[in-house]
């Protein structure tokens, strides 16, 4: 599988493997599903192991998440290209309208938030997940996503606004 030396292998297990939760969590939110996320997280870890020699010993979590993200996007491009184009008509993108059926499904806040987060375009979803769930700084997010820090900030701001409005929309009529 890899030609890492025993020392590198040990170093990989100590620095990269502890971030398997972070890897899975990001993949789960980018791919919107656990089964795909398991495959992609595993693939990303194997890839990380293969290229561990090129890792300069910086922030292992950011490095791994960068690989996870790239693996997710490559997979999305191949399997669900429509989803990636979501962001281009982001202005047209409306939060899910709340029908009585969806309201019944989203009775609790976990489901409501999950649904709201999953309706965001991937580029917005990922900055929110990295910031709010993973606790990354702007700089770390910029490293992971390879987008300039200014864009990180504006994406985050728009992501929060969209999430907020998706939540407000979906809760209309939910509570009497």
* Site residues (vs another protein, CB under 8 A): 1, 6, 9-10, 12-14, 17-25, 28-29, 34, 37-38, 41-42, 45-46, 49, 109-110, 113-114, 117, 128, 131-135, 137-138, 153-154, 156-157, 160, 163-164, 167
Minimum gap (Å) between residue 37 Cβ and another protein: 8
For the CB of residue 1, give the shortest distance to another protein in the complex, in Å.
7
From the DSSP assignment, how many helices (H) and strands (E) are in the chain? Answer: 10, 0
Looking at beta carbons only, is 75 or 138 nearer to another protein?
138
Q: Of 162, 156, 161, whose CA–CA distance to 95 is shortest?
A: 162
Coil, strand, or helix at residue 89? helix
Nearer to another protein (CB atom), residue 30 or residue 76: 30
User: Which C-beta is closer to another protein: that of 45 or that of 86?
Assistant: 45
Rounded Cα distance between 156 and 154, Å, is 5
Residue 25: CB minimum distance to another protein, A:
5
Least CB distance from residue 29 to another protein, whole Å? 8
Nearer to another protein, 14 or 85 (CB): 14
Q: How far is the CB of 84 from another protein (least distance, A)?
A: 22
């Amino acid at each position: 599988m890899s030609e890492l030396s025993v020392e590198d292998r040990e170093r990989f297990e100590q620095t990269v493997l502890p971030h398997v939760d972070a890897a899975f969590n990001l993949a789960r939110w980018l791919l919107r599903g656990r089964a795909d996320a398991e495959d992609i997280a595993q693939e990303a870890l194997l890839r990380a192991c293969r290229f561990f020699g090129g890792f300069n010993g910086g922030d292992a979590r950011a490095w791994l998440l960068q690989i996870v993200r790239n693996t997710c996007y490559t997979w999305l491009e191949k399997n669900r290209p429509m989803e990636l184009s979501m962001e281009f008509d982001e202005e047209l993108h409306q939060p899910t309208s709340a029908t009585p059926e969806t309201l019944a499904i989203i009775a609790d806040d976990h489901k409501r938030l999950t649904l709201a987060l999953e309706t965001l375009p991937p580029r917005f979803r990922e900055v929110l997940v990295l910031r709010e769930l993973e606790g990354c700084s702007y700089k770390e997010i910029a490293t992971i996503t390879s987008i300039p820090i200014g864009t990180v900030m504006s994406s985050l701001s728009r992501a929060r606004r969209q999430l907020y409005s998706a939540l407000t929309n979906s809760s209309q009529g939910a509570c009497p």
